[in-house]
Each structure stands twice: as C-alpha cells, then as structure tokens.
Amino acid sequence: MNKIIKKNRKQRRHEEKLLRKAEKKQKKQSANHVQAMFSKAMNLHQTKSPEEVKQFYDEKLNDKKTPLDELELYGMSAIEFGSFEVGIKLLDRALLQVPDSTEVLYYLASTYFKLQKLDQSLQYLQKIMIIAPSHFPCHVLLASIHLEKNELKTAIDYCQKALTLKRESDEVLTIIGEAFLRQGNSKEAMSALKQSYIVNPIDTRTLSLLFVALSQAKDDLNLEEIYCYDKIIRKYTPGRPDGVDDFLEFYQSVVKLIKNHPHLQKSPKGLATQNGSQTIGDLLTSSKHPLLQVIEHQIHLAVKNHVTALELSEKHPMVLAAPSEYRIASWAVVLDNEGYQTPHVHLDGWLSGVYYLNVPKEIEEELKGEAGYLKFGTWREGLGTNNSYKVYSLKPETGMIATFPSFLWHKTIPFKSDDNRVCIAFDIIPV
C-alpha cells in the first residue's frame, strides 16, 4: 500500500512538473507571438506609406476570421502609432467577442480621453465600474476626465477613492495637485505635488505642475535646484553632414518637403500651434526620405551634446530619468504671420527640442524685440495666478537645435513676417 502511495505521489509530482513546463512554454510562445505582431505593426508604420498602412488595417478589420488576439494587438498598435479611427474599430470588433474585457474597455476609454471625446470615454469606464468596481486605472481616468471638465470636487473625490486602492500613487497625487491649482489653493497643491515628487521624482507632469506651485510660493531655493535654466537648456549647431554642400539649400529642401507633407494640418485642434500648421503623426519614422534621415542623425548629435554637457547632481530629475535607450517622436511646425504656440509641456518625453529650418529675418535680426522667440517659464491658463518671475527667452536661428527638459513650460511669441517660421520639434522618449 505504501509503495502504491509513494508511486502515486511521484507520478503526481512528475505530472505537475510537466504541466508547469507546458505552461511556461505556452507563455513563452504567447509572448513571442505578441512580440512578433507588435514588431510587424511597428515595421509597418516605419516602412510603409499611409495608404499601405490603412490597407493593412482595413484587411484585418474586414476579415471575419481575424483572430481575437490580432484584433486587440493591432487595434492597440494602430492607436499607438496615431491611426485612431481604425484602431478603435478593431478594438470594438474585439469587444463583440469579449464584451467584459476590462483591458480592451480601458484602452478604448483612454483613447477617447486622448482625443478629448470625454463622454465616449465615460461610457466605457462606466462599463468597467460594473464589471470591476476596484479597477484602479479606471478611477484615475475618471478623475482625469472630471478634471478636464473642470468638475474639480468630483475629480478629487475619485482621487481619494483611488488612494484607498493604492495608497502611494504619484499619478493620483498629481491630479489632486492640479485640481487644487485650478481652485487657486496653492498651499494644498504644493502639499500634494511634493508628496508626488517624493514618490516619483522623474514624472514630467508632476515636475511641470510643481514649477507652478513653487513659482506662486516664490520658493527660489527649490526652483533653482530643479529648474536651473542655464544648466538644462542647450543650444547646438550641427556641422555640415556628408553629402551636403550648401546648408541653406539643404534646409530649404527640407522646408519644401514639410510644406508639401500629406499630414500637414492647419492649426490642429487640441494642439499648441496657432496661426500655423503642424504635421500629425511621427514625421521621421513615417518617412525614409534621405533629407529626413539627415535631420534624424543631427538630432541624435544634439541629444549626445546635451547629455555630455549636463552638470547636475545625481538626484536631479534629468539625471535620474536619463535613458540608456530612446526613440525620437517628431513633428513639423510651420508658423504663419502672427503665428505662435501656446504654453505647454511634453508629457511623454525626457528631453525635448526644436530644430530651426527657416527663421524669418524679422526674428533673426531682432527687429521687433522678442517676437518669434522661444520662451520658458509661463504656464497655461487655468492653473492659478501666472506670476512666474523665472522666465528665459531663446532667440531662434536657422540651423540651430535647442534642447531642454520635457517638463519645462514653454511657448513662442507671435511675430509679423511674410516669411514662415519652420521647425521640426521632437521628444526623446525612453524605451
């Protein structure tokens, strides 16, 4: 009898070992499959034309046999690379098969939030709340939506609920800080934002809002410790690349390419560009044009120059967040007469920059003061008194690349000229 029991135990252990091995293999195969699909999507966006990308997604959308995992992953990939409409359609198709998938529901909700379609976002979040009332990201997004609607008390209430699910969330504390700034309560805002900074000292949004709170409190010591303009803003003028004989002619060729770009839109809604145009989607990765490849190389050199020149303490956010690997997100901006950009920050980046390709003579020759300049230190409306006395202006020049931390508030000053102010803006995003 004992021999039989021992044999059964041994057999069970062997079966459990085989089962664990099979599960591990299945997970590995699943991970490899997901990675392969994502790589395919990324390659698609980097090497194919917008028409070819659309055709690929349309085929997946119209094929009734497209597997669930492809609907989900290609839907998410399409959204990540800016193809929002088809990405949403693919995920809606996936929901028909798995209507209770909180992952798909949340992804759709966050996508509609990015598109500033708040009511559509709320519809998906309400479904999640029924399925999973303790879904932490859902509470955070609900708080963000009510913040955007300026329903500040409701936003803070959702944040308090979220903190019962996850006590030390820098994201939630930052939303609370912004809500208090909007209420004009800088003291409570400072308290929440300092807590958020302790939890996560490298978050771009927290750092941008903390600048506002510190400026309103006239806290010179902490302002200078983090927002030391002379140490964190850099100007770089690249040398002439191989194969380029005339720099001015090269820049004019790039300007022509940008002005004829199919994704150049006039004053796109929800973005900082006013009285001008901006390309939608990633400019450099969506095209393998030789001129843009040269631009990309020059940007890499500017990033290297910025990193080499950094002289900051080990605890400074720029040092703590410095990536070992990164990707470049980029877009072109063409400002017309009296064009400008409203105050903003770049939430996804570690470092941001501007490559000036054409600067009107009225700006370069300083005929009208700081018209057309890049200006740091003034935040957007709605965050309380804009009393920043820590400002810094940068004069743009054709061929210059300006780099700065993505958390710095910046805007451009309107200018008058019959010529366009043309640049390529970019974010350095850690991967």
Distance between CA atoms of 78 and 88, rounded to whole angstroms?
9
Assess if residue 35 is contained within a domain. Answer: no
Whether residues 77 and 112 share a domain: the answer is: yes
Instruction: Give strand pairing partners of 279.
Output: 264
Do residues 82 and 94 make contact, with C-beta atoms less than 8 angstroms apart? no
Instruction: Give strand pairing partners of 422.
Output: 334, 358
Assess if residue 164 is contained within a domain. Answer: yes
- The CATH number of whichever domain residue 363 belongs to comes to 2.60.120.620
Domain count, the chain: 2
Burial pattern 55-90, b for ≥16 Cβ within 10 A else e, equals: ebbeebbeeeebeeebbbbbbbbbbebebbebbbbb
Whether residues 308 and 270 share a domain: the answer is: yes
Assess if residue 256 is contained within a domain. Answer: yes
Residue-level pLDDT at 26: 46
Whether residues 264 and 205 share a domain: the answer is: no
Query: For the whole prediction, is pTM greater than 0.75?
Result: yes
Please give the structure tokens belonging to residue 253. 């060729």
Whether residues 208 and 310 share a domain: the answer is: no
Whether residues 177 and 241 share a domain: the answer is: no
**Structural domain ending residue among the three candidates 219, 250, 277:** 219
**Structural domain ending residue among the three candidates 156, 189, 219:** 219
Assess if residue 336 is contained within a domain. Answer: yes
User: Whose CA is closest to 278, among 262, 287, 269, 265?
Assistant: 265
Whether residues 372 and 240 share a domain: the answer is: yes
Give the residue numbers spanning the domain of 114.
49-219
Assess if residue 355 is contained within a domain. Answer: yes
Whether residues 395 and 255 share a domain: the answer is: yes
Assess if residue 120 is contained within a domain. Answer: yes
Whether residues 210 and 270 share a domain: the answer is: no
Whether residues 257 and 119 share a domain: the answer is: no
Residue-level pLDDT, tens digit, the chain, 431 residues: 555 555 556 565 655 555 555 545 444 444 565 567 667 676 776 667 777 878 888 888 888 888 898 888 888 888 877 788 889 999 999 999 999 999 999 999 999 999 999 999 999 999 999 999 999 999 999 999 999 999 999 999 999 999 999 888 999 999 999 999 999 998 999 999 999 999 999 999 999 999 999 999 888 888 999 999 999 999 999 988 777 888 889 999 999 999 999 889 998 888 899 999 999 888 998 777 999 999 999 999 999 999 998 899 999 999 999 999 999 999 999 999 999 999 999 999 999 999 999 999 999 887 667 999 999 999 998 888 776 668 899 999 999 999 999 999 999 999 999 999 999 999 999 98
Whether residues 337 and 252 share a domain: the answer is: yes
- The CATH number of whichever domain residue 158 belongs to comes to 1.25.40.10
Assess if residue 40 is contained within a domain. Answer: no
Alpha carbons within 13 angstroms on the beta-carbon side of residue 176 total 25
Alpha-carbon Rg of the chain, whole angstroms?
Answer: 25
Residue-level pLDDT at 235: 96
**Structural domain ending residue among the three candidates 195, 219, 243:** 219
Whether residues 199 and 254 share a domain: the answer is: no
Handedness of CA 292, 298, 301, 307 (dihedral sign): negative
